[in-house]
Structure 1
Amino acid sequence: MRAWQDIDPVEEIPLLGGDVTVGVVRVGDTVRRPLGPHSPLVHALLRHLAQVEFDGAPRLLGVDERGREVLTYVEGEVAGRPRPGWIADEERLRSVARLLRRYDDAAVGFTPPPGSVPDAPAVDHPAVRAAALDEPELVGHVDVTPENVVFRDGAAVALIDFDLARPATRLDEVVNALTHWAPLAAPGDRDPLLSDVDVPRRCRLFADAYGLADDARGRLVDVAVLRSRKSWHVMRHRAEADGGGWARMWADGVGDVIRRREAWLVEHGPTITAALLDRSAAL
């Protein structure tokens, strides 16, 4: 990792929108982010993506004189808050799925360096253990929120903010993305622009564009329910142990949102699964 030095002082522009990481700024055509326990894994992953010529992620340039990682700035638009009118656009949804599939295919060949994967939060609960169903297939992004997808000309072109990258399955990746983009949420917890969308249809559109296998489609809702149960306990633990953005989200009621999502998934899961598996239905 080489040191990065600025030749000329450039204005730092705060980049807002993240729930946890603070201190992210744009400096010219670069982004500066604080280092953390995740950094060894993220840096190795970004180097791998560059080596395999995956163009849908920032490039790692080094560390600046203030000890911040330096990344290339990816031009485009992201869906901040309030959400833009295009957040419900189905073609954009498909493009997110295609980008995620390209990323997952590129990440399959990556082997994390020894000791680079941060320890998981020490949460010993049956719901957390039950969610560990499958062996990881790759190091997933696992944070495909609207804030972390860059669009150009109406299509998703890059993923940003790899701080939560971790060993995962392809199904984990799809469930995570659908949580935000379908969205898998009780209607009252969705953005107003997504409150009345056809969620089963959007799940099917995403799965088709990603190329999700039939066996994974049949398990998607069950995995989403298990992940929701695990998420509640992990979020509470991080709010108590780490504070900061985690505590703020918990205080704002994210735990209640997760519980409502779980109940909604249990109620509407059969309809979602039927849509995912009915290949004869025209979309």
Structure 2
Amino acid sequence: MRPVMDEKTDTSETELTGGGTTQVVRVGETVRRTVRPWSGNVHRLLEHLNRAGIAEVPRWHGIDDSGREVLDYLPGAVGNYPLSADVRSEQALITAARLLRRLHDATADLARTLDHGWWAPPLEPVEVICHGDFAPYNCVFEGQETVGVIDFDYARPGPRHWDLAYALYRFAPLTHPADEDGFGVLEEQAQRTRLFLRSYGCTPAEGQAAVRAVAPRLQALVDLMRESAAGGDENFQRAIDEGHVDLYLRDIEYVQRNQDCLLEEVPCGER
């Protein structure tokens, strides 16, 4: 990993808060994050996306004197909860879906060649490199436009529908009505599901696969949280103690119970 050049300007650090479990600080026009065992692959991915013309992802600048990775600070508002009216808008959903499609398409040629060294093994069928946590809290917005995506720690090769499933859960959002972070009745959630899939450019089969994958994707998250907490991860244990697993399990039941209604909105269109 290449060292980053010393900065001669602003060296003050401001902690950035959000939905992640990694400490992130801003220094000038950069952010500094802890290096993980899989960070090398994330850096290769970001460089690949930059070369492909995806300006909505941060550039990697190397490692600072404290051993932290140095990335661009993307200007704008991160979609932290409670979501603003702008982030809840249809335009934010549409532009998020289009950005996710561009990310996927740009990584299709890399997915099979960089098949190890991620936080977890690839998921079959490998089609693209999934972001792994594509949600408002990892997107950057200017008004109602999605203009950036950050935090690729959970990226790994896999099928498009795996990323789409979690994006639907967060952007539709496919949450139980009692969830304070959710909004919209079932019919509105189904309509936003269709809009996201259509904006992404799903085939009917891809759209149906994405809807059917929502519950398994959430169950995988529950399993990850429990396994990580059992292994001593304090962040995941704290999330469990705060009731996040119970929330996800309730949402899994809600999605499974209403899956037929959601699938009525699919097929959704052509690429």
TM-score w.r.t. the length of structure 2 is 0.91
Aligned to 2:118: 117
Bigger shift: residues 94-103 or 143-152: 143-152
Cα distance in 1 for residues equivalent to 2:226 and 2:2: 38
**Letter of the 2:66 counterpart:** R
Aligned to 1:126: none
Percent identity over the alignment is 32
Cα distance in 1 for residues equivalent to 2:178 and 2:20: 20
> How far 1:223 sits from its partner (Å)?
1.6
> How far 1:145 sits from its partner (Å)?
1.8
Q: Specify which of 244, 252, 277 is matched with residue 267 of structure 2.
A: 277
Aligned to 1:98: 98
Q: Specify which of 123, 138, 145 is matched with residue 135 of structure 2.
A: 145
> How far 1:229 sits from its partner (Å)?
2.7
**Letter of the 2:94 counterpart:** R
Cα distance in 2 for residues equivalent to 1:168 and 1:278: 22
TM-score w.r.t. the length of structure 1 is 0.87
Unaligned residue ranges in structure 2 (runs of 5+) = none
Aligned to 1:35: 35
> How far 1:203 sits from its partner (Å)?
0.2
> How far 1:153 sits from its partner (Å)?
4.3
Aligned to 2:47: 47
Aligned to 1:185: 175
- Where does 1:75-224 land on structure 2 (aligned, <5 Å)? 75-111=75-111, 113=114, 115-119=116-120, 134-191=124-181, 194-196=183-185, 198-224=188-214
Looking at both structures, which has the greater relative contact order when contacts are Cα pairs under 8 Å and sequence separation is at least 6? 1
Could you report, residue by residue, the CA deviation over 1:154-203 in whole angstroms, capped at 9, with x for unpaired residues? Answer: 211111011111122111111111111111211112426x1547100000
> How far 1:54 sits from its partner (Å)?
1.3
Match status 1:15 vs 2:16:
yes
Taking structure 1 as reference, are residues 212 and 115 closer, same or farther at Cα in structure 2, changes over 3 Å only? closer
> How far 1:69 sits from its partner (Å)?
0.4
Secondary structure class of the residue paired with 1:151: strand
Query: What is the aligned length?
Result: 265
Cα distance in 2 for residues equivalent to 1:118 and 1:278: 33
Aligned to 1:127: none
Match status 1:236 vs 2:226:
yes
Cα distance in 2 for residues equivalent to 1:52 and 1:190: 38
Cα distance in 2 for residues equivalent to 1:267 and 1:150: 32
Cα distance in 2 for residues equivalent to 1:40 and 1:115: 11
Deviation beyond 3 Å, 4+ runs, structure 1: 111-115
Unaligned residue ranges in structure 1 (runs of 5+) = 121-131
Q: Specify which of 246, 256, 267 is matched with residue 246 of structure 2.
A: 256
